[in-house]
Amino acid sequence: MKRTLPLIAALVSASCVGASSLAASATKEDPAIAAFDRAFAGISNYTCVLHSHEVDGAQTQDRVYRYSFMKPHYLKTVVLSGDGKGSGAVWTGGDRVSAHPGGILSGIHVKINVTDPRLLSLHGVTIPDGLLPGNIDDYGTIPGTLTQIDGGKIGGIDTDRLDLKVADPASNHDITEQVVYFSKSTHWPIRQIMYSGSQIVVDESVNDLKTNVGLTQSDFPF
C-alpha cells in the first residue's frame, strides 16, 4: 500500500502541549519519524499482519496480508483473506518478484516485474512500496504541511498522530491528506488513513508486529 505499512531531532517532551509543524521535506526533523527511524535501525527483520481497505472510484478492495521482511531487501507477502486469498510474492531487491496465485497453483511461481498491474494495489502501490519504512519516509518526502499531535488511544495503545496535507494531490495518486498513528511505546506505526477530499480511500492497520524473529534468506525463496 502506500500502504507500508513496509507502514520512519530529539523527541518532543511528553508534557509538550500542541502540535509540531514543519515542511514535509525535513524528514529527520520530525520527532515521530526520527523515533521510528531509531526503532527500525535496531532490528534486522520483522513480521506483521496488515489489514487493508482501499477505495478507488467504484472499486473497493479489502485484504489481510502477512508481511515478512529482512534487511536489507528481502520481502515476502501472502494474502491471508480477501481478493487473491492464498496468493503471494517474494521480492529480493531489484525490479522483479517471484509470485504465485495460491490455492492448488501455489507451487507455480513466475518471475514478473514489480510494477505488473497484477501486483499493484488499487492506488498503484508496488509490493516493496508497502514496506513500513517506505510508508513513513513518504511523510518526509512528499511536499506538503506536516503536523504532529497526540493521537489518543487506538486499541488501547497511546499514539502520536502525524498528519500530512499534500501540496499536490495529482502527483500523489489524488491523495489530499494522509495520517499515520505511531505507538508511543514502540514508535512503530499501527494505523494509516488516507483521504481524497473528504473520502477515506485507504485505511490500514498493522497488527501482530514482531521484530527480530530469526528470519533467514531461506524464508524468501525466489
pLDDT tens-digit series, residues 85-122: 999 999 999 999 999 886 655 567 789 999 998 888 88
CA R_g for the chain: 17
Cα–Cα distance for residue pair 31/36, rounded to 1 Å: 9
Model confidence at 127, pLDDT cuts 50, 70, 90, reads confident
CA–centroid distance for 198 within its chain: 21
Structural domain boundaries of the chain? 20-211
pLDDT, tens digit, for every residue of 2-56?
433 333 222 222 222 233 333 444 444 589 999 999 999 999 999 999 999 999 9
- Please check whether the domain covering 20-211 is classified as CATH 3.20.20.10: no
Composition of the chain by helix, strand, coil, percent to 5: 20, 45, 40
What is the per-residue pLDDT for 25? Answer: 41
- pLDDT the model gives residue 208: 97
Q: What is the pLDDT of residue 191?
A: 98
Q: Do residues 9 and 175 touch, judged by C-beta distance below 8 A?
A: no
pLDDT recorded at residue 106:
57
pTM of the predicted structure, to 2 decimals: 0.84
**What number of other Cβ atoms are within 10 A of residue 123's Cβ?**
20
More confident residue, 205 or 8: 205
The percentage of residues in the chain with a pLDDT greater than 90, rounded to a whole number, is 71
**Cα–Cα nearest to 179, from 209, 144, 207:** 144
Q: What is the pLDDT of residue 119?
A: 83
Q: Across all residues in the chain, what is the average pLDDT? A: 85
